[in-house]
């Protein structure tokens, strides 16, 4: 198995890929679009994408890309994320003038960052990539928010660890491939659908799941590109697409939705026991 991920070595996406398949080869990609391209071209058998964080919320770009491409979701991974403040050897917290990280990393460490005085916060393309920028530029007055492994990869010291706002900081990733994996037993399904703008349309859509006692675990609205003020809905349900209740719910939904598309039916992530206390 060869899994493409966005970021540099030491990125959380790399860790999630290896959690999904410990023996996998991993391919670093510069962007989320490049992950899709690697799978579509056959350079990778699978791709892994962060879709949601328990502190920072949804990664909307990846929800949109799942709708734009036709690569099914075949699995998911939940990763407990512990952020570290990394800097060149010898750097001290009081000498720092800038902190780099991906916007999600910054959002997950807001309380820690508010306590820093006179420090510029700079959004970058990747958490581990921020560590790479500091090493490559020999930036003695700059730190990165990234994983401890990123510090090891790029020769940076850990100035502070566990700096995320909450101990239970979990990112959920989805795994994509060119075709469904018939060897797995799915118990979760992701659906994309669009509705006409009329009273009760969303109520009717959600009722097809409620009437069949189907657990709806996520619902997200996204704008339809090129059609101002029209929206599509991304939904996760805890049931296999092949289950008769789910099949009937989707058929029922299609009776009044403008369109319905199943993005994948797959096995839910194994649940770890995350820390429950706030920091």
pLDDT class of 275 with cuts at 50, 70, 90: low
Catalytic residue, candidates 142, 171, 189, 190 = 171
Q: With 70 as the cut, is the pLDDT of residue 129 above it?
A: yes
pLDDT in tens, 199-209: 999 999 999 99
pLDDT digits (tens, 9 = 90+) for 47-64: 999 999 998 889 999 999
- Strand 46-53, strand 2-6: pairing: parallel
Instruction: Kindly name the residue from 173, 193, 209, 233 that is annotated as catalytic.
Output: 173
Strand partners, 218: 236
171 is known as an active-site residue: yes
Q: Which two tokens stand for residue 219?
A: 């619902």
CA-based nearest residue to 60, from 205, 234, 217: 234
The answer to whether 173 is a known catalytic residue is: yes
Token pair 């299609």 is found at 254
Give me the helices (H) in 179-260, please. 201-210, 244-254
Whole-structure pTM value: 0.87
Domains (ranges, CATH) in the chain?
A: 2-80+169-177 (3.40.190.10), 84-161 (3.40.190.10), 188-266 (3.30.70.260)
């Amino acid at each position: 198995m060869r899994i493409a991920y966005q970021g540099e070595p030491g990125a959380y996406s790399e860790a999630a890929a290896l959690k999904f398949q410990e023996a996998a080869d991993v391919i670093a990609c510069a962007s989320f679009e490049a992950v899709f391209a690697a799978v579509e071209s056959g350079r990778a058998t699978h791709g892994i994408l962060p879709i949601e964080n328990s502190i920072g919320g949804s990664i909307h770009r990846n929800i949109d890309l799942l709708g734009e491409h036709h690569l099914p979701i075949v699995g998911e991974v939940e990763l407990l994320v512990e952020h570290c403040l990394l800097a060149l050897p010898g750097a001290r917290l009081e000498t720092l003038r800038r902190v780099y990280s991906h916007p999600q990393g910054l959002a997950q460490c807001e309380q820690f960052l508010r306590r820093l005085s006179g420090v510029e916060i700079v959004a970058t393309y990747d958490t581990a990539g921020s560590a790479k920028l500091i090493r490559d530029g020999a930036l003695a007055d700059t730190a990165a928010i990234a994983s401890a492994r990123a510090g090891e990869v790029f020769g940076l010291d850990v100035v502070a660890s566990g700096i995320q706002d909450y101990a239970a900081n979990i990112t959920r990733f989805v795994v994509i491939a060119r075709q469904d994996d018939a060897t797995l037993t799915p118990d979760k399904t992701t659906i994309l659908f669009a509705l006409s703008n009329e009273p009760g349309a969303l109520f009717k859509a959600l009722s097809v799941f409620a009437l069949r006692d189907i657990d709806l675990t996520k619902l997200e609205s996204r704008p339809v590109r090129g059609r101002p003020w029209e929206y599509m809905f991304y939904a996760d349900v805890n049931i296999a697409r092949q289950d008769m209740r789910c099949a009937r719910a989707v058929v029922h939904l299609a009776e009044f939705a403008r369109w319905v598309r199943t993005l994948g039916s797959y096995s839910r992530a194994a649940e770890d026991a995350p820390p429950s206390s706030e920091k």
